[in-house]
Structure 1
Amino acid sequence: MPAYNAGKYILEAVNSVLQQSYTCLELVIVNDGSTDDTAYKLESISDSRVKVFHQKNAGQCAAANKAYSLSSGSLIKFFDADDVLSPHFIASQVATLNGQFNAIAFGSWGRFYNDDLNTFKLEKNWITTNDVPFNWLIASMSKSQVMLQCGLWLIPRHILDNAGLWNEELSLINDFEFMIRVLLCADELRFSDNAILYYRSGIKGSLSSTTSAKAALSAYDSVNLGTQYLLQRCNTSYVRQIVANHFKSLVYSFYPIHKELTSLAEKRIAELGGTSLPYPAGGYTKILSTLLGWKTVKLIKQKLNIL
């Protein structure tokens, strides 16, 4: 568990791990140079299964890699310091693997808002069938942006050793590149029915909400690297279309703030053969996009936000 300025949430996340029905576990937490009360909150934990390491701020990926280096388990879960696991999450995934270390177990997930678990809704459009990793990834990516949040997966250690650890050059959507690379090193993905990840959403200032130039470049690089792994496996027109759609989503997200990156993404889309992915909008925005074009609408909305 990498942790940076997670004082508000970290004990809830930690308790969701320590209160698992599966008790034979260790929790390695790396405090990545937090400037809030994260360190103080970690000092209050008395469970002997918890190991805490403090380091200067080096980024989420570096902290996750450090935590891995300090761990000893044969099965590994990377887990964010602001999410919550259902009580039987780990037990269900261990049972699903059943000693077969050539597979990776995954669970289901949903979002909750305003720090209120009562707002939780299970994601219904989530593929829950066992499959080979490439087929599962392509099926999951064909409808929308795939969810590759690290807490969903229980990964045998030797698969991580073969795949390599987190890319420390990345920050925003770093899990996209990492999880595709890791999943493709397994023989099978196995769904665990009783494993639910409660994904905290809408946190102001969270890593996923960052729109700096550095974060935008990380998002582009992560998508570029992750999709390259897929194209190396299968470079059909169908796969290229799915890859192009993910670059188009970057264009929609970062225009007009990061025009150079959107130009790079549009060039990549052209190389892949183009995409017909529509601008994600509803209501008046959808009507205006039809009349004026989505770029004009985004420019207008940006001006209004500034004003």
Structure 2
Amino acid sequence: MKDFPLVSICIPAYNAAKYIAETLNSVFLQTYENIEVIIVNDGSEDDTLEILNNYTSNKVIVINQENRGQCAAANRAFEQSNGDYIKFLDADDLLSANFIEDQVIALRNTSNVIASASWGRFYNNDVNTFKLSTEEVWKDMKSIEWLKTSLASGNNMMQCGLWLIPRNILLISGLWDERLNLINDFEFFIRVLLKSKEIRFVKDAILYYRSGIENSLSNQKTKKAYESAYLSISLGLEYLLNYENSNLIRKIAADIYQNLSYDLYLNHPKLYTLVTQKIKQLGGSRLPFPAGDKTRILVNIFGWKLVKFTKNLMGLK
């Protein structure tokens, strides 16, 4: 591949007026110059489109569509892209200035390899609150080993902005599943990573992940959101088990389902039943109910179901 390949940054945007300018500025400040930006306004009801129209240029494509969801918007952006490499980016996150350049350099003279990056959170729209995270997978790894390590930790981060993906891998893996509206990155990146052979970790490429946004997708607790989460997790784990049906993968899958079951209990009884059946089929899980010290004492005495019911009754999380 050429030394300075075209990188397409694909950004789905919905009601992102508060953040989109800051996100785009972080893109335009990139030290790597051979970039095109495709932004899809997904039927926003705020001033997102008006703001985006100020950025139209020969390197920025703005597409307006009726609201079809984040996955459909991301797919539309990809369909309009021409890049050798693709980065999907949320409309409220930020990139360090060297992000794209460092990832492109890391992928030079490679084949079927994806670049990952460092990341951290910032809160209340204040970048000064940024704190870098750390993960076991922050190193070069075979893709299947990356997935095993990340998923086993229980704190996996597959956020779309972390990755620089060769176009040919996406053409093989397929695009975003438009049925999903929550945890859509789970099944997508398991599918994509399993079509690559290796992950190259780029330490100095840093994603600034905006947290604490009201009404964000990740904070949804609707029936539709739970159904999307269940479908995404089920699909992702099915891909993983089809790739390697080992005892370790079965344990990882059972624990992920167990963690989901704690959220589904009382909130979606039908899905809770389906998930508990899957856990049994996988050999069971010993993943404990997530609780602080005081709640843990109550769980040990009364069991997690009664504690969960009582907290729900009292309006506690």
Q: Normalising by structure 1, report the TM-score.
A: 0.97
Kindly state the Cα deviation for residue 47 of structure 1 after the two structures are TM-superposed: 4.8
Displacement after TM superposition at 1:46 (Å): 5.0
Q: Choose which of 63, 67, 75 in structure 2 pairs with 1:65.
A: 75
Q: Secondary structure at the match of 2:35?
A: coil
Segment of structure 1 superposing worse, 34-43 or 60-69: 34-43
Aligned to 1:205: 215
Check conservation: 2:115, 2:163, Cα contact below 8 A: yes
Tell me if 1:80 matches 2:51: no
The CA deviation at 1:182 is 0.5
Instruction: Please say if residues 2 and 32 of structure 1, whose CA atoms lie closer than 8 Å, have aligned partners that are also in contact.
Output: yes
Indicate the SS of the match to 2:46.
coil
Preserved contact between residue 6 and residue 81 of structure 1 (Cα < 8 Å): yes
* CA deviation profile, 1:169-189 (whole Å, cap 9, x unmatched): 111000000001001111211
Question: Quick one: which of 47, 53, 64 aligns to 1:43?
Answer: 53
Give the distance between the partners of 2:214 and 2:279, measured in 1 at CA.
31
Cα distance in structure 2, aligned partners of 1:124 and 1:12: 25
Distance (whole Å) between structure 1 residues aligned to residue 49 and residue 136 of structure 2: 36
Gaps of 5+ in 2: 1-10
Unaligned runs of 5+ in 1: none
**Following the alignment from structure 2 to structure 1, what is the Cα–Cα distance between the partners of residues 130 and 57?**
28
Contact 2:114 2:163 (C-alpha < 8 Å) held by counterparts: yes
**Matched AA of 1:85:** L
1:40-189 mapped onto 2 (5 Å cutoff): 40-45=50-55, 47-189=57-199
Aligned to 2:19: 9
Distance 1:297 1:47 in 2: 56
What is the CA distance between 1:34 and its match in structure 2?
Answer: 0.4
CA distance in 2, matches of 1:99, 1:9: 36
Structure-2 residue corresponding to 1:298:
308
Are the equivalent residues in 1 in contact too, given 2:258–2:275 (CA < 8 A)?
Answer: yes
Equivalent residue letter for 1:191: F
Residue pair 2:136, 2:150 contacting (<8 A) in 1 also: yes
SS in 2 for 1:26: strand
Contact 2:38 2:81 in 1 (8 A): yes
Distance 1:47 1:83 in 2: 22
Give 1:102 deviation, angstroms.
1.3
Q: Which residue identity is paired with 2:210?
A: R
Partner of 1:24: 34
Stretches of 4+ aligned residues off by more than 6 angstroms: none
Query: Kindly, what percent of the aligned residue pairs are identical?
Result: 51
Counterpart of 2:20, as a letter, is I
How far does the alpha carbon of each residue in 1:254-276 deviate from its partner, in whole angstroms, 9 at most, with x for none? 22111111111111101000001
Partner SS for 2:315: helix
Partner of 1:249: 259
State the AA in 2 paired with 1:129.
Answer: K
Q: CA deviation at 1:203?
A: 1.1
- Residue 69 of structure 1 deviates from its aligned partner by 0.4
Q: 1:239 aligns with which of 237, 249, 255?
A: 249
Counterparts of 1:96 and 1:140 in 2: how far apart (Å)? Answer: 21
Match of 1:106, SS? strand
Opposite residue 143 of structure 1, the aligned amino acid is S
TM-score by length of 2: 0.94
Q: Which moved more, 1:194-203 or 1:22-31?
A: 194-203
Q: How many residues are treated as equivalent by the alignment?
A: 306
Q: CA deviation at 1:41?
A: 1.3
Give 1:100 deviation, angstroms: 2.0
Counterpart AA for 1:162: I
Q: Aligned partners of 1:98, 1:113: CA distance in 2, in Å?
A: 35
Q: Match for 1:111: what amino acid?
A: R
Cα deviation for residue 126 of structure 1 reads: 4.0
Q: For the residues of structure 1 that align with 2:241 and 2:263, how far apart are their CA atoms?
A: 23
Could you list the per-position Cα deviations for residues 188-226 of structure 1 after superposition, in whole angstroms to 9, with x for gaps in the alignment? Answer: 111112111111112111111111111111101111110
**Separation in 1, partners of 2:200, 2:135:** 17
Whole-Å Cα distance in 1 between the matches of residues 77 and 108 of structure 2?
A: 25
